[in-house]
Structure 1
Amino acid sequence: MNKKMNRAGAALAAAVLCAMMTLAAPGAFAEAAPQAVSQADGARLQLRWELQRKPAGLQLPQGGSPARFTLINADSQPLPPSGWSLYFTGIDRMPSGAQSSGLVLEHVAGGLFRLRPGPDFKGLGPGQTLAFDYRHNDSVFMPSRSPTAPYLVYDAAPDVGVPLQYTLTPVLEPAQRGKVGSPHSFVTPEDTYWRNARAGLLPAAQVPPVLPTPLRLEPGAGRLALAGRPAVTASAALANEAALARSLFASSLPASGGPALHLSVGKVEGQDSPEAYRLRITAAGGIDIVGNSAAGVAYGVQTLRELLPLPGSAVMDLPEMSIIDAPRFGYRGFMLDVARNFHGKETVFKWLDLMARFKLNKFHFHLTDDEGWRIEIAGLPELTTIGAVRGHSARPGVRLQPAYGSGPDPRDPRGSGHYTREDYKEILRYAQARHIEVIPEIEMPGHARAAVQAMEARYHRLKNAGGRDAARYLLSDLDDRSEYSSAQYFNDNVINPGLESSYTFIDHVVKEVAALHREAGAPLKTIHMGGDELANGAWEKSPASDAWKRKHGLESSADLWDYFYERVDAIVRKHGMTTSGWEELAARKTVLDGGSKLIPNPRFTRSGFTAYVWNNTVGLEDLAYRLANGGYDIVLTPVTRMYFDMAHNANPEEHGVNWGAYVELQTVYDFIPFDIMKDAPEAARMGKDRLTDYGKRRVRGIQANLFAETARDPARIDYLVMPRMVALAERAWAADPGWATTQDPVKAEVLHRGAWSGFVNALGQRVLPRLDLDGTRLAYRIAPPGLVTEDGRVLANHVLPGMQLRYTSDGSEPSASSRLVTGPILERGTIRVAAFDRNGRRGAVAAIESR
C-alpha cells in the first residue's frame, strides 16, 4: 500500500473507526489508535462505474472498451492526497498501471484490483467529483464483467475495509451492436420473433405428455378417474419411492376412494438398464410401475407426476397408456460450483430434487477452487477457518481475499461458508434417497489457492509454535520463483508435485471424504481430482520440483504432471475408488508445426480414468472424440453447449459470462452427443476426428456445468439453469431424435421443426406451469417475447408457446394486470410486451414502436 500521508490525514478519526468496527475481525485495531477527524468516511463516498460509448469509427488497439469510474466525495471531510486505496473485484483482467486524474489502477491478485493515489493526486474535497477513465481490456462486454463490491481502506487502519455507495450505470448495448454475423451482436425483438416462429402453439392433445421423452409410449383409449388419493402398495425396500408417489396427489383429493397404485421391482421386458421402468395406467387396474431397480421405480413415479393434471385442474384423471422407458446414457450429470460463490445445503437440496424430477443421476459437487474450500476436513481446520472465508485483511494467512463481489466483510454469506461434516452427510443421504450419486471434486494441482493459502498459514502457525511437523501438509515450495498467471490471474495457486507433503495432504483429504461417504451410507465410487487449467510456467522455477525431476528421472513439467497423477491415482485406488478429472488428465501437451496441440496421453489409458471433456472451442472441437477413440472413458460437457454459466445471448440484460459461447435453450437442445459438429459448416468439420464405434462405447454420458462466478443469489442459479436443464435431460435420457440421424438436410429440418415445437410446447404448457403451481418456487428464466410490425399491427410470440403475454401501449412496463395478447396488437405507440408465469412473475420486457 501507499504509505505516504499528509499531516492532516495522518490518522483515522474515532468516529470513522467506530463506523468501521462492525466490519472488522476481532483484534483488527490492535495497532490503530483513533485520533482526530481529518479525512472522509468511506461510507459517505460514492462510486459510479459506466461503460463509455465508443466514438464512431474508433479502433482501439487490441480491442477494448472505454470505461469510467466516477468518485464523489459526499462527506464533509476531504479524501486526502495519499494514504488510502480503493479496492474492488472483477472477472476480467484490467489494465494494471493505467493512470487518470492522478489515480493509478493496480492488479492485486486474482480478481482483486485497487485504485490508489499517485504522486500527482491532490485530494478530493467535500462535494468534489473526479473521473477515472481507462480502457477495459475486453472489447466484448457483458454486465457480469462490471467491477463489483468497492471498498475503501486507509493505511492507518489497514485491516478495515468500508464499502462505498456504489452505482452501476446499466450497459445499454453490447459492444458489437449491429455487427452482422458476430456472435456478440444484439438480438432484436424482430430476430427473436422469427426464431420463435419455428414453433407455434399446439393443441393440448398434441403436446408431448412427458419430458424427457420416453423410449416407447402406447396410448390407450380410456381414462382413469382420480376420485381420491391412490392406495399405494410397495415393499419396505421401496419406502422412499412410495413416499414420493403419495406426495404427488393433491391434498384436496379425498383420502380414500382412489385407484390402486402398485410399485415393484421386477424385470422390464427388453431392457437391461437398471434404471429402466414400465408404467401402465388402465381404467380397470389403476397404476402399475415396475422397475429393474428402485431407481427405475423412482423414474416411473416421476413420469407419473408429469402425466397428472396441473394443480388446480377441475378434472382429475389420467389417460390410459403403457410406457416402457430406459435412459440412453448411464451418466446424466449436473455440476454445481459452490467454491466461487457459496450456496448452502437448502439450495443443494432444491437442485437435487429437480435433478431427480428430470431423471438426472450424477451430481458433480465442485467443492474447492482458488476462491474457496467448502467442506470440513477432520484434522485440517485451516481449510475452512481460512480457506472458506473471504474478506479484507492486510495480513497474510488470516483469510482469502475478496472475490466475485464478496467485498471486505468476512461474514458475507457467498464469499464465506462451508459444509460441516454433518451438512455434507445430510446432502449425501438426500441425494441417495433420490438415486443421485454425489461426485465430489477436489480441484488440483491448479485452481488450488484456497488450499495452498490455508496450508501455508498452518505451516507458519506451527513453525512459530515450534511444531516439528509444521510442513507435514505444506502444498507450496516457499522458494518457488515460477512465473505464471492462471486463468483467474493468480500466480500462487498451484500444488507443488515436488513435495512429499503434497501427497500426504491429498491422501488425508481423500481418506476423510471417503469416510464421510461411508458414514452417510453412500460409499464413494469415484472422486473428481480436478486437473483443470494448470498455468503455463508453473513449477518451472521451483527448486523442489527440479529436485524431484532429477530424483525420478523426469525431463519436463509434462513428465512431472504424469508423475503427479500417477501418485494421485494410487492414493485414490488405495481408498477403494477410481479417479475422475477434467480432460487434462487424459491429454498431453505437445507441439505440432510450432503450435501447441493436445493429444491423448498414452500413459493412463489403462488406469480407468474418466475424463470430463469441456474444451470444444475452435481447433479443439474433436478433442473429446480423440480421447474416447484413444481409449479413455469420457463425459461430454462441452462449453459451447453445456455450460449454464454462459449468458443466453449478448443482450445487456442477460446474466452470465460469454468467454466460451452464448448458450440459448435451443443450443442445448440441438446438441448431438455422437456428432457434436453436425450443424457446423463443412469447412470447420474438415480434418476433425469423428467417433469410432469403439469410441462411442467409451462415452459414459453428458453433463451440464454451472460455475458460480456470477451467481451470488440462488435465484440467479434458477435463471441460468432452468429451463436449460430440461434440454440437458432430454439429450441425456432420450434416444437421438430423427432429425439428428437423417442425412437428408431438408427432411432433417422438417423433423427438427416438429420435434422442437413439441419440446417447447411441453415446457410452456405443462412442465413450467407445474413448477409454478406445485410450490417449487423456481425463478426460472422467462425469455423476452419476439415482436414485429406488420401492416400497422404488432405481432408477438414467445419461445415457449403457452406462456401468457401481456402488453402496454403507453410506454409503461407491463404488469400482471396489463392487457393480454390475444392476437395482433392494433394500438399505436411504444408497445411493451412481457411473458408471465402462472404466479404472475414477469420475464424480460421487449419493446417496439408502432406508428
Structure 2
Amino acid sequence: MSHRPLAARALALLMALATPMAMAEAPAPATQQAPANLNQYASAAKLQLRWDLQRNLFTTQAPHGRTQARLILTNHDSQPLPAQGWSLYFNCLDRLQPGPLQGNLTLEQVAGSLFRLRPGPGFKGVAPGQTLAIDYNYAGLVIKLSKAPVGFYLVYDAAPDVGVAIEDFALLPLTRPEQLDRGTSGHKPVVTPADTWRRNAQADLLPANEVPPVLPTPLHIQPGEGKLLLNAQPAIQAPAALKNEAALARFLFPQTLPANKGPLLKLSVGTVQGQASPEAYRLTIQADSGITIVGNSAAGVAYGLQTLRDLLPLPGAKEQALNELTIVDAPRFGYRGFQLDVARNFHGKQTVFKWLDLMARFKLNKFHFHLTDDEGWRLEIAGLPELTAIGAVRGHAARPGVRLQPAYGSGPDPRDPSGSGYFSRADYIDILRYAQARHIEVIPEIEMPGHMRAAVQAMEARYRRMKAAGRKDAAKYLLNDLEDRSTYSSAQYFTDNVINPGLDSTFSFIDHVVGQIVALHLDAGVPLRTIHMGGDELANGAWEKSPASLARMKKEKLATTEDLWDYFYDRVDGILRRHGVSTSGWEELAARKTRLAGRSKLIPNPRFTTRGFTAWVWNNTRGAEDLANRLANGGYDIVLAPVSNMYLDMAANPNPEEPGVNWNDYVELDTVYDFVPFDMLRNLSETARADKDGLTDYGKGHVRGLEATLFSETVRDDGRLDYLVMPRLIALAERAWAADPAWALETDPARSAALHRQAWSGFVNALGQRVLPRLDLEQPAVAYRIAPPGLLLDGEQLLVNHVLPGITLRYTSDGSDPSAASKPVTGPITERGLIKVAAFDRKGRPGLVASIDRR
C-alpha cells in the first residue's frame, strides 16, 4: 500500500467507494473528502499489528476455559495515533468479551463477527515509535489460529466513510505451554510427529503392481493377460448423442501422439448386463480390438471414460500401454455430492468450473451450490437489484443500507474479491450448462429463515428507498418486521438475520426468487428438480416478540413458534410446488423441536413425512449421533452430510497452525474413509449405543447418498479451498460410489482390523502413487494438502513415514526447511542435528514440515 498522506489516500479510496463492484443499480454512497488536518495523525499504512495468544485459563467461573490474547500495536509513522477520534475495526470468528480494557480502551461488538476498539476517556494516544499492548479475552478456549482477529482497518471520526486497511499484520506462533494448555476442557492435545508416525503406520507401502488401478473402487474387475499399446491417439467412434463424451475421450490422451492412428475407442449407450443403475458402465480393453465403453446412459459412458483415465500410464511413463481387462461398474448411491459455500467468501465462475471438473473426475454427480447466507447473496435476481448491489458487496460504510459490513477479514474495501462478488444470470447459466455436460446436477441453495441477513438488509434498504420516493408498493418484498423486539443471537452472533413469516411480503419475496431461479434453468435448458431451502440454525428467541409473527400465530391458531415454523415451510413448499420443483433443506426441515425429560430433542416432524422433502443431515454431534437414522426410519429421504466425517472446513488436527475450524471435531483423511453409511454408530461404545436408534431396512431405502461439505469462513483464496477439500473429497467419492468394504461387514474385530489395513493401504497407495501424481502433472493445478511426515525416534535412528506411501520425502539436518533439492529420505535417518522433513509433489511443491531436535 502507498505511504501517501491519509487525506490524499482517503480521497482516492472514497472515489473508488462511490462506484464499487456490483453497485450500478443501487444508490451510490455519498462521498466526502477527508479533512486535511488528518495529516497530523498516524496513517494506517504505517501502523503495525501483531497478535499473540497469551494463555489459556481455567477457573471456577470458566471450567472449560477462556483465552487471554494480546494485540501489539506499533506506530511507525512520524505522527501520533491520537488520544481520541478513531476506531480500529476487525473480524473475529470466535466470541470476544466486549467492554472496557486496560489502558482506557473499549472493545465493542458492532454486529456478528465485526468488532472495534475505541479509545476511552484517559487514553493517551500512541506516539511515533511507541508500542502499545492491548489485552482482551475470548469467552471460550482458543485452539486454532483461525480464531485470531483478521481484516484490521482504521477509521477516523473526522472521515467516517473512510476505512483504511492495516496491511502490516501477523500472527505470532503458538508454541508456549500456557498457549497449548487444554486443561480438563476435553479438547484434544496437539499432534506430535510421533503421533503422526503411529497413525501413518496403519498402512503399508505397496509395490506398483499391487496398487488398486481405479478410484473409486469398481464393482467388478476381470484382468486379462495381454497389453494394448498406445503409440497414437485412439480413433474414437461415438454417436452424435455422445459428443460431450467423445470430446472428453480426445482430451484424455497426450496431444503429442499422432491423431486418430491408435487403437479403436468405441463409445455407446446400451445395456450393461446385471446393472439397473442408469450410471452403470462396462469398460473392455483388448489388445486386438481396442477399447469399448458401454453405458446404460451417457453418464455411464462418461464414468467409464474417467475410469479409463485412471488406468492410463502417467505422463512420462516408460511404457505407454494398457493392461487387458473388463470392468463392470455402477454406483452404490444415486446421490454423490459436494457442497461449495460461495456466500461467506466468494469464489468465482472459473473456480466453480474447476471443481465441477474434479467432481466429474471422481464420479460425483450433485453440486450443492450454497449461494446465500448472512454475509453474502451471490446470485443475480431480476427485479431485485439490491440483492447483489447491496447483498453481494462487503466493505466499510458509515451509514446502513449501502453495503454489508466486512466479514471474515474482507476489510473496508468493497472491491475485495472474496468479500464482494456475485454470479450474473449469464454466469449461472454457464455453470448450469457446464455441469450438465459433466452429468452433474446443480442444486441451488437459498438459505432461510435464518442466515438471511444479506437479503434482510438489502430488502430493507430497498423498502426505505422506495418509501422515500413515495412508492405505495415499497414493502412488497420487505423481509423483517420493523417493530420486532425479539432477542436472539445466531450461531454467527447476529441479532437481525431472520426473515419473518408474519409478513406476506416474505412469501412474495420467496415466490419471486424461486420463479427467477426456475426461469434461469429454463433459459439454460437444464432441468431444475429441487431447490435447497435451508432451514439451518434458526436462533432460539426469533419471532417471539414480533407483532407481525404474533398476529400470524393468532390468525392461524398456532400455539408456539415451532408451529409457526411448520406454517412457514408449509407455505414455502406450496410455492415450490406451484413452480414445479420439490423442497429440500437441512435436517431441521424434517425435524420438530420438542423436549424430553426437560431437555431439547429433535424428532421426525410428522407434518411433512408425505411431502417428498429431502433433508441433508449434518448433525451427528454428541447426543444426536442417530438423528439421521431416526429421520430415515421416520420416512424422510435424507442425504448424509455428517459434520464429524464430511465437513471439509474442519481442520485435519488440533495443531494451531493447521487450517480450518474446529467447532465440532477434526476430520483427517481416514476420518472420511472410515465412515460407514448404514452403520453410523459403529464407533460408539456399547453404553453410548444403548439408547440410540439403528437404521432399519425401511430407513436404508430413504438414504439417497452422501455429501462432502465446504463452508468457507476461513477460505479466502483458491489455494485454501484446494488444501481443505483434497484429497479428502476422494475418500468421500470412494464411500459414495463403492460398496461397503469387507472390513465394515466383518464382525470379528481382529479380522476386521486386518481387512481394514489391507483396504486402507490400497486406498492411500493409489492416492500417493497414482491419483495425486496425475493431478500434479495436469492443469489447472490442485494445491491439495500434503500432510506432514511422521517421525519416530528408534534408538539411534529416526523413522520417517507418510500418510501417502510412495510420496517423495526430503530432509535437512541444519534446521532449514527442506526444498526440492534437499536429500531424499531413503530409509531411517541417522544424522544428528535439527532434522526437518517434508513431502513433495511431482512438481516439487512442499507440504507441511515435521521436525525433531537430535543435536
The TM-score by the shorter chain falls in which range?
over 0.9
| Cα distance in 2, alignment partners of residues 116 and 140 from structure 1 | 24
Q: Indicate the larger mover: 42-51 or 496-505.
A: 42-51
Aligned position for 1:8:
none
Question: Judging changes above 3 Å, is the alpha-carbon distance between structure 1 residues 623 and 56 closer, same or farther for their aligned structure 2 residues?
Answer: closer
Aligned position for 2:18:
25
Aligned position for 1:144:
146
The AA in structure 2 aligned to 1:441 is E
Runs of 4+ in 1 over 6 A off after TM superposition: 55-59, 178-181
Q: Deviations over 1:184-204 (max 9, x none)?
A: 211111111111112121011
Asked whether the equivalents of residues 314 and 770 of structure 2 are also in contact (C-alpha less than 8 Å), the reply is yes
| Cα distance in 1, alignment partners of residues 821 and 608 from structure 2 | 62
Q: Which of 46, 49, 59 is the aligned partner of 1:47?
A: 49
Q: Which of 763, 771, 775 is the aligned partner of 1:767?
A: 771
The AA in structure 1 aligned to 2:764 is V
Aligned position for 1:67:
69
Asked whether the equivalents of residues 394 and 410 of structure 2 are also in contact (C-alpha less than 8 Å), the reply is yes
Q: Deviations over 1:745-787 (max 9, x none)?
A: 1110000000000000000000000000122300000000001
Q: Which of 155, 171, 174 is the aligned partner of 1:171?
A: 174
Q: Indicate the larger mover: 153-162 or 52-61.
A: 52-61
Give the match's secondary structure for 1:279.
strand
Question: Judging changes above 3 Å, is the alpha-carbon distance between structure 1 residues 190 and 182 closer, same or farther for their aligned structure 2 residues?
Answer: farther
Question: Judging changes above 3 Å, is the alpha-carbon distance between structure 1 residues 579 and 825 closer, same or farther for their aligned structure 2 residues?
Answer: same
| Cα distance in 1, alignment partners of residues 337 and 815 from structure 2 | 44
Q: Please, which runs of 5 or more residues in structure 2 have no aligned partner?
A: 20-28
Aligned position for 1:492:
496
| Cα distance in 1, alignment partners of residues 608 and 696 from structure 2 | 20
Q: 1:73 Cα deviation (Å)? A: 1.8
Aligned position for 1:436:
440
Q: Report whether the alignment pairs 1:281 with 2:285.
A: yes
Q: 1:38 Cα deviation (Å)? A: 3.0
Q: Which of 511, 516, 524 is the aligned partner of 1:507?
A: 511
| Cα distance in 2, alignment partners of residues 183 and 521 from structure 1 | 50
Q: Report whether the alignment pairs 1:567 with 2:560.
A: no
Aligned position for 2:339:
335
| Cα distance in 1, alignment partners of residues 604 and 182 from structure 2 | 41
Cα RMSD for the two superposed structures: 1.7
Q: Indicate the larger mover: 174-183 or 506-515.
A: 174-183
Q: 1:56 Cα deviation (Å)? A: 11
Give the match's secondary structure for 2:364.
coil
Aligned position for 2:321:
317
| Cα distance in 2, alignment partners of residues 575 and 76 from structure 1 | 64
Aligned position for 2:79:
77
The AA in structure 2 aligned to 1:169 is L
| Cα distance in 1, alignment partners of residues 15 and 509 from structure 2 | 36
| Cα distance in 1, alignment partners of residues 406 and 87 from structure 2 | 15
The AA in structure 1 aligned to 2:700 is K
Q: Which of 87, 96, 99 is the aligned partner of 1:97?
A: 99
Give the match's secondary structure for 1:359.
coil
| Cα distance in 1, alignment partners of residues 34 and 151 from structure 2 | 24
Q: Deviations over 1:606-662 (max 9, x none)?
A: 010000000000000000000000010000000000000000001122100000110
Aligned position for 2:216:
212
Give the match's secondary structure for 2:99.
coil
Asked whether the equivalents of residues 174 and 180 of structure 2 are also in contact (C-alpha less than 8 Å), the reply is no
Q: Which of 233, 248, 251 is the aligned partner of 1:247?
A: 251
| Cα distance in 1, alignment partners of residues 399 and 149 from structure 2 | 24
Aligned position for 2:704:
700
Aligned position for 2:474:
470
1:180-199 to 2 correspondences below 5 Å: 184-199=188-203
Q: Deviations over 1:520-540 (max 9, x none)?
A: 111200000000000000000
Question: Judging changes above 3 Å, is the alpha-carbon distance between structure 1 residues 183 and 319 closer, same or farther for their aligned structure 2 residues?
Answer: farther
Aligned position for 2:128:
126
| Cα distance in 2, alignment partners of residues 736 and 231 from structure 1 | 37
| Cα distance in 2, alignment partners of residues 23 and 650 from structure 1 | 41
| Cα distance in 2, alignment partners of residues 60 and 98 from structure 1 | 20
Q: Which of 156, 167, 179 is the aligned partner of 2:158?
A: 156
Q: Deviations over 1:514-555 (max 9, x none)?
A: 110111111200000000000000000000001111111111
Q: 1:182 Cα deviation (Å)? A: 5.1
Question: Judging changes above 3 Å, is the alpha-carbon distance between structure 1 residues 181 and 382 closer, same or farther for their aligned structure 2 residues?
Answer: closer
Question: Judging changes above 3 Å, is the alpha-carbon distance between structure 1 residues 692 and 101 closer, same or farther for their aligned structure 2 residues?
Answer: same
Asked whether the equivalents of residues 58 and 64 of structure 2 are also in contact (C-alpha less than 8 Å), the reply is no
| Cα distance in 1, alignment partners of residues 131 and 782 from structure 2 | 43
| Cα distance in 2, alignment partners of residues 432 and 488 from structure 1 | 34
Q: Report whether the alignment pairs 1:391 with 2:391.
A: no
Asked whether the equivalents of residues 140 and 176 of structure 1 are also in contact (C-alpha less than 8 Å), the reply is no
1:451-470 to 2 correspondences below 5 Å: 451-470=455-474
Q: Deviations over 1:374-404 (max 9, x none)?
A: 0000000000000000000011000000000
Q: 1:325 Cα deviation (Å)? A: 0.3
Q: 1:257 Cα deviation (Å)? A: 2.8
Q: 1:30 Cα deviation (Å)? A: 3.3
Aligned position for 2:538:
534
Asked whether the equivalents of residues 184 and 650 of structure 1 are also in contact (C-alpha less than 8 Å), the reply is yes
Give the match's secondary structure for 1:52.
strand
Aligned position for 2:23:
none
Aligned position for 1:7:
none
Q: 1:422 Cα deviation (Å)? A: 0.2
Q: 1:158 Cα deviation (Å)? A: 0.8
| Cα distance in 1, alignment partners of residues 344 and 562 from structure 2 | 28
Aligned position for 1:272:
276
Q: Indicate the larger mover: 96-105 or 615-624.
A: 96-105
Q: Report whether the alignment pairs 1:600 with 2:590.
A: no
| Cα distance in 1, alignment partners of residues 499 and 213 from structure 2 | 51
Asked whether the equivalents of residues 809 and 829 of structure 1 are also in contact (C-alpha less than 8 Å), the reply is yes
| Cα distance in 2, alignment partners of residues 758 and 181 from structure 1 | 37
Asked whether the equivalents of residues 590 and 615 of structure 2 are also in contact (C-alpha less than 8 Å), the reply is yes
| Cα distance in 2, alignment partners of residues 56 and 570 from structure 1 | 51
Aligned position for 2:641:
637
Q: 1:173 Cα deviation (Å)? A: 6.5
| Cα distance in 1, alignment partners of residues 13 and 723 from structure 2 | 35
Percent of aligned pairs with the same amino acid: 68
Question: Judging changes above 3 Å, is the alpha-carbon distance between structure 1 residues 262 and 537 closer, same or farther for their aligned structure 2 residues?
Answer: same
When normalised by structure 2's length, the TM-score is 0.96
Q: Which of 369, 373, 379 is the aligned partner of 2:383?
A: 379
Question: Judging changes above 3 Å, is the alpha-carbon distance between structure 1 residues 479 and 281 closer, same or farther for their aligned structure 2 residues?
Answer: same
| Cα distance in 2, alignment partners of residues 502 and 361 from structure 1 | 33
Q: 1:686 Cα deviation (Å)? A: 1.6
Give the match's secondary structure for 1:211.
coil
| Cα distance in 1, alignment partners of residues 59 and 193 from structure 2 | 26
Aligned position for 1:353:
357
Q: Indicate the larger mover: 132-141 or 698-707.
A: 132-141
Asked whether the equivalents of residues 14 and 162 of structure 2 are also in contact (C-alpha less than 8 Å), the reply is yes
When normalised by structure 1's length, the TM-score is 0.97
Q: 1:598 Cα deviation (Å)? A: 0.5
| Cα distance in 1, alignment partners of residues 185 and 7 from structure 2 | 59
Q: What number of residue pairs does the alignment pair up?
A: 840
Q: 1:34 Cα deviation (Å)? A: 3.5
| Cα distance in 2, alignment partners of residues 810 and 33 from structure 1 | 55
Q: 1:77 Cα deviation (Å)? A: 1.9
Asked whether the equivalents of residues 816 and 842 of structure 1 are also in contact (C-alpha less than 8 Å), the reply is yes
Aligned position for 1:750:
754
Aligned position for 2:425:
421
Aligned position for 2:628:
624
Q: 1:817 Cα deviation (Å)? A: 0.3
| Cα distance in 2, alignment partners of residues 738 and 61 from structure 1 | 44
Q: Deviations over 1:324-367 (max 9, x none)?
A: 00000000000000000001000000000000000000000000
Asked whether the equivalents of residues 720 and 781 of structure 1 are also in contact (C-alpha less than 8 Å), the reply is yes
Q: Report whether the alignment pairs 1:734 with 2:738.
A: yes
Q: 1:100 Cα deviation (Å)? A: 1.9
Q: Please, which runs of 5 or more residues in structure 1 have no aligned partner?
A: 1-11
